[in-house]
Protein backbone atom coordinates (compact mmCIF):
# COMPACT_ATOMS: atom_id res chain seq x y z
CA UNK A 1 0.00 0.00 0.00
CA UNK A 2 1.42 3.40 -0.95
CA UNK A 3 1.30 6.51 1.23
CA UNK A 4 -1.70 8.04 -0.58
CA UNK A 5 -3.65 4.84 0.00
CA UNK A 6 -2.54 4.81 3.65
CA UNK A 7 -3.73 8.39 4.11
CA UNK A 8 -7.11 7.57 2.55
CA UNK A 9 -7.48 4.45 4.67
CA UNK A 10 -6.54 6.40 7.80
CA UNK A 11 -9.24 8.97 7.09
CA UNK A 12 -11.81 6.25 6.51
CA UNK A 13 -10.86 4.74 9.89
CA UNK A 14 -12.08 7.97 11.49
CA UNK A 15 -8.88 9.98 11.84
CA UNK A 16 -8.95 13.65 10.89
CA UNK A 17 -7.16 14.93 7.77
CA UNK A 18 -3.97 15.93 9.59
CA UNK A 19 -3.77 12.63 11.48
CA UNK A 20 -4.40 10.70 8.28
CA UNK A 21 -1.48 12.30 6.46
CA UNK A 22 0.89 12.20 9.44
CA UNK A 23 0.19 8.51 10.06
CA UNK A 24 0.92 7.72 6.41
CA UNK A 25 4.53 8.68 7.18
CA UNK A 26 4.75 7.10 10.65
CA UNK A 27 7.44 4.66 9.54
CA UNK A 28 9.79 7.56 8.84
CA UNK A 29 9.71 9.28 12.24
CA UNK A 30 10.86 8.45 15.75
CA UNK A 31 7.47 8.88 17.42
CA UNK A 32 4.86 6.26 18.15
CA UNK A 33 1.56 6.25 16.29
CA UNK A 34 -0.15 7.32 19.52
CA UNK A 35 2.18 10.31 19.85
CA UNK A 36 1.61 11.26 16.22
CA UNK A 37 -2.16 11.00 16.67
CA UNK A 38 -2.02 13.26 19.72
CA UNK A 39 0.31 15.74 18.03
CA UNK A 40 -1.88 16.11 14.94
CA UNK A 41 -5.35 15.79 16.55
CA UNK A 42 -5.85 19.55 17.11
CA UNK A 43 -5.20 20.29 13.43
CA UNK A 44 -8.29 18.53 12.06
CA UNK A 45 -11.18 20.45 10.56
CA UNK A 46 -8.92 23.29 9.53
CA UNK A 47 -7.47 23.55 13.08
CA UNK A 48 -10.04 22.71 15.73
CA UNK A 49 -12.89 22.71 13.17
CA UNK A 50 -12.35 26.43 12.60
CA UNK A 51 -12.24 25.60 8.88
CA UNK A 52 -9.00 27.50 8.33
CA UNK A 53 -5.90 25.78 6.85
CA UNK A 54 -6.75 22.31 5.56
CA UNK A 55 -5.76 19.57 7.98
CA UNK A 56 -4.14 17.56 5.17
CA UNK A 57 -1.78 20.46 4.50
CA UNK A 58 -1.17 20.85 8.23
CA UNK A 59 -0.24 17.16 8.26
CA UNK A 60 2.33 17.83 5.55
CA UNK A 61 3.84 20.58 7.72
CA UNK A 62 4.03 18.34 10.78
CA UNK A 63 5.85 15.62 8.84
CA UNK A 64 8.20 18.16 7.23
CA UNK A 65 9.09 19.49 10.66
CA UNK A 66 9.69 16.02 12.04
CA UNK A 67 11.84 14.96 9.09
CA UNK A 68 13.72 18.07 8.06
CA UNK A 69 13.94 20.55 10.96
CA UNK A 70 17.11 20.56 13.05
CA UNK A 71 15.70 21.44 16.48
CA UNK A 72 19.13 21.06 18.09
CA UNK A 73 20.55 23.92 16.04
CA UNK A 74 17.78 26.49 15.79
CA UNK A 75 18.92 29.37 13.63
CA UNK A 76 17.20 31.91 11.44
CA UNK A 77 18.44 29.94 8.45
CA UNK A 78 16.96 26.69 9.80
CA UNK A 79 13.60 28.34 10.48
CA UNK A 80 13.61 30.02 7.08
CA UNK A 81 14.47 26.77 5.32
CA UNK A 82 11.53 25.00 6.98
CA UNK A 83 9.18 27.86 6.10
CA UNK A 84 10.40 27.74 2.48
CA UNK A 85 9.69 24.00 2.27
CA UNK A 86 6.23 24.51 3.78
CA UNK A 87 5.45 27.36 1.41
CA UNK A 88 6.59 25.34 -1.59
CA UNK A 89 4.29 22.46 -0.69
CA UNK A 90 1.42 24.82 0.19
CA UNK A 91 1.77 26.39 -3.26
CA UNK A 92 1.61 22.96 -4.91
CA UNK A 93 -1.46 22.06 -2.83
CA UNK A 94 -3.10 25.39 -3.72
CA UNK A 95 -2.24 24.95 -7.40
CA UNK A 96 -3.94 21.57 -7.38
CA UNK A 97 -7.06 22.51 -5.38
CA UNK A 98 -7.38 26.27 -5.82
CA UNK A 99 -7.16 26.98 -2.09
CA UNK A 100 -5.69 25.74 1.16
CA UNK A 101 -8.65 26.92 3.26
CA UNK A 102 -10.80 24.11 4.67
CA UNK A 103 -14.14 25.96 4.44
CA UNK A 104 -13.49 26.71 0.75
CA UNK A 105 -12.50 23.11 0.05
CA UNK A 106 -15.74 21.98 1.74
CA UNK A 107 -17.94 24.57 0.04
CA UNK A 108 -21.18 23.03 -1.16
CA UNK A 109 -20.78 19.82 0.84
CA UNK A 110 -23.14 20.74 3.67
CA UNK A 111 -20.29 20.67 6.19
CA UNK A 112 -21.36 22.02 9.54
CA UNK A 113 -19.70 24.70 11.62
CA UNK A 114 -18.79 24.57 15.30
CA UNK A 115 -16.79 22.20 17.44
CA UNK A 116 -19.05 19.12 17.16
CA UNK A 117 -17.41 16.42 15.03
CA UNK A 118 -19.71 14.77 12.53
CA UNK A 119 -20.53 11.09 12.54
CA UNK A 120 -18.66 9.18 9.86
CA UNK A 121 -21.17 7.49 7.59
CA UNK A 122 -21.09 6.40 3.97
CA UNK A 123 -23.00 9.58 3.09
CA UNK A 124 -20.35 11.64 4.91
CA UNK A 125 -17.57 10.03 2.86
CA UNK A 126 -19.51 10.46 -0.38
CA UNK A 127 -19.96 14.21 0.00
CA UNK A 128 -16.51 15.10 1.33
CA UNK A 129 -13.35 15.73 -0.67
CA UNK A 130 -11.28 14.93 2.45
CA UNK A 131 -10.14 11.41 1.49
CA UNK A 132 -8.90 12.74 -1.85
CA UNK A 133 -7.23 15.72 -0.16
CA UNK A 134 -5.42 13.40 2.25
CA UNK A 135 -4.27 11.17 -0.61
CA UNK A 136 -3.07 14.15 -2.64
CA UNK A 137 -1.24 15.63 0.36
CA UNK A 138 0.56 12.33 0.92
CA UNK A 139 1.47 12.16 -2.79
CA UNK A 140 2.79 15.73 -2.80
CA UNK A 141 4.88 15.18 0.30
CA UNK A 142 6.19 11.83 -0.85
CA UNK A 143 7.26 13.30 -4.20
CA UNK A 144 8.88 16.26 -2.47
CA UNK A 145 10.81 14.03 -0.08
CA UNK A 146 11.92 11.76 -2.91
CA UNK A 147 13.14 14.74 -4.96
CA UNK A 148 15.02 16.11 -1.98
CA UNK A 149 16.62 12.87 -0.83
CA UNK A 150 14.52 12.45 2.32
CA UNK A 151 12.29 9.54 1.30
CA UNK A 152 13.25 6.11 2.57
CA UNK A 153 10.69 4.33 0.42
CA UNK A 154 7.07 3.29 0.66
pLDDT digits (tens, 9 = 90+) for 91-118: 999 999 999 999 999 998 878 788 888 8
pLDDT tens readout for residues 45-93 = 999 999 999 999 999 999 999 999 988 888 999 999 999 999 999 999 9
For residue 154, name the pLDDT band (cuts at 50, 70, 90): very low
Return the ∠ at Cα 102 (arms to 96 and 105), rounded to 5°.
50
Mean residue pLDDT across the chain: 93
Eight-class DSSP state of 50: S
Q: Is this prediction's pTM over 0.75?
A: yes
Amino acid sequence: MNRAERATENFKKGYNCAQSVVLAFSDMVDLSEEQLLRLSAPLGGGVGRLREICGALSGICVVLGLLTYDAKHVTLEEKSALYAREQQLAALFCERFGTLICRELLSGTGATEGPQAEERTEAYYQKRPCPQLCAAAAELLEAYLRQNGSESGT
